[in-house]
Amino acid sequence: MTHTIEEARLVAQKVKQSGRVLQVGSQTTSADQWWKARKAIEDGMIGKLISSQGSYHRNSLNGEWNWTPERRGDGWRIDPDAGPNGKGVNYIDWNMWLGPAEKRSFDPQRYFRFRKFWDYSGGVATDLFYHVVAPLQICWGEAQFPYRVSAGGGIYAFPDREVPDTFNVMADFAKGHSLILSSSMANSTHIPGLIRGQEGTIVMVDHGRFEGETDHITVSSERIYRDKFVKKFGYQSVDIPVEDRGCDAHMANFFESIRTREQPRLDAETGYRAQVTISMAVQSYREGRVLYFDPEKEKVVYDPPKV
């Protein structure tokens, strides 16, 4: 959504003050599975929410955010004719591009492959984990700030970057549940995307890829609550069909929100809360410490706030 928590907070404030419609990205939030999972939780199918997990795993010959022959298109390819001295479409206004970031000489790596550098990116967290954290906020039924966040990982395979190629996050929320995120840009095997409750589990993405298509979610009871579950719902496990809304659903939702003035599926407030978790994870990794969030001051703090 933004590069910093403060920027996200200001965006959310401005949307509220202006009454304008703003839809944050993460097109996957318009997919049906998150809303079906939300309803299952609201219907009490899994009991008390305990934890959620998700992953984002990829692998490529030359490392994520570099051009590699196995990836389609020319994404991340460096144009040797582009730069501050380029002509016409090859001209790059380098100072404008840097904006508030540290001033430095033009570096095509930093321009064409900016996600590898802290000045412009949070790596896996800000590029990919947003597509996991934002839809989970929708599943939970109420957008939430994290209470405590910690992150780890490292540069294990591709040393041509500042950001980690392997990154893992654990976040706790004041309402009494946790979030666990796993990622690597050097191994493409995912873990299932799911939500655990005290009485049951929702598997939303059994193949693990949060941006991948799925035609169902699965809700299953915990063994010790099976009799109660069957009595209430008539089965111990069920596949709930998911509507295929197509890749244009997010755009259509934006246009509909403009017409109706209703909140879009991923509004500024929800996006802001997702960004807090992600930016805190980046800060935790870089500082090597556990961080807390004070919801009253809307600031990251180093000591547990009163909740």
Residue 180 has a CB neighbour count (10 Å cut-off) of 15
pLDDT score for 64? 94
Residue 113 vs residues 2, 21, 78: alpha-carbon distances, Å:
18, 31, 8
Instruction: Say whether both 81 and 55 belong to one domain.
Output: no
Whether residues 207 and 126 fall in one domain: yes
In a domain, 304, yes or no: no
Cβ distance 197 to 49 under 8 Å?
yes
Q: Is 301 helix (H, G, I), strand (E, B) or coil?
A: strand
Whether residue 72 is contained in a domain is answered as no
Same domain flag for 160 and 275: yes
69 is a domain residue: no
295 & 228 share domain? yes
Residue 282 pLDDT greater than 70, yes or no = yes
Name the residue type at position 228.
Answer: K
For residue 127, give the nearest of 109, 114, 145, 115 by alpha carbon. Answer: 115
Interval 261-270 mean pLDDT: 96
Residue 305 lies in a domain: no
Q: What is the pLDDT of residues 69-119, one digit of tens each?
A: 777 667 799 999 999 999 999 999 999 999 999 999 999 999 999 999 999
Q: Do 101 and 219 belong to one domain?
A: no
CA 281/CA 277 separation, integer angstroms: 6
Query: Confidence class of residue 209 from pLDDT cuts 50, 70 and 90?
Result: low
CA 64 from chain center: how many Å?
Answer: 17
pLDDT (0 to 100) of residue 212: 57
CATH number of the structural domain spanning residue 248: 3.30.360.10
**47 shares its domain with 22:** yes
Looking at the structure, do residues 139 and 178 belong to the same domain, yes or no?
A: yes
Contact 196, 51 (CB under 8 A): yes
The neighbour count for residue 105, using CB atoms within 10 Å, is 7
Residue range of the domain that includes 226: 5-63+119-299
User: What are 12-40's pLDDT values in tens digits?
Assistant: 999 999 999 999 989 999 999 999 999 99
Is residue 107 located within the same domain as residue 225? no
Q: What is the pLDDT of residue 210?
A: 55
Q: How is residue 8 written in tokens?
A: 């996200």
DSSP element (H, E) containing 177: strand 177-184
The pLDDT of residue 144 is above 90:
yes
193/44 same-domain check: yes
Into how many domains does the chain fold?
Answer: 2
163 and 14 in a common domain:
yes
**Whole-number Cα distances in Å, 24 to 7, 55, 260:** 13, 21, 17
Task: Report pLDDT digits (tens) over 212-236.
Answer: 578 899 999 999 999 999 999 999 9
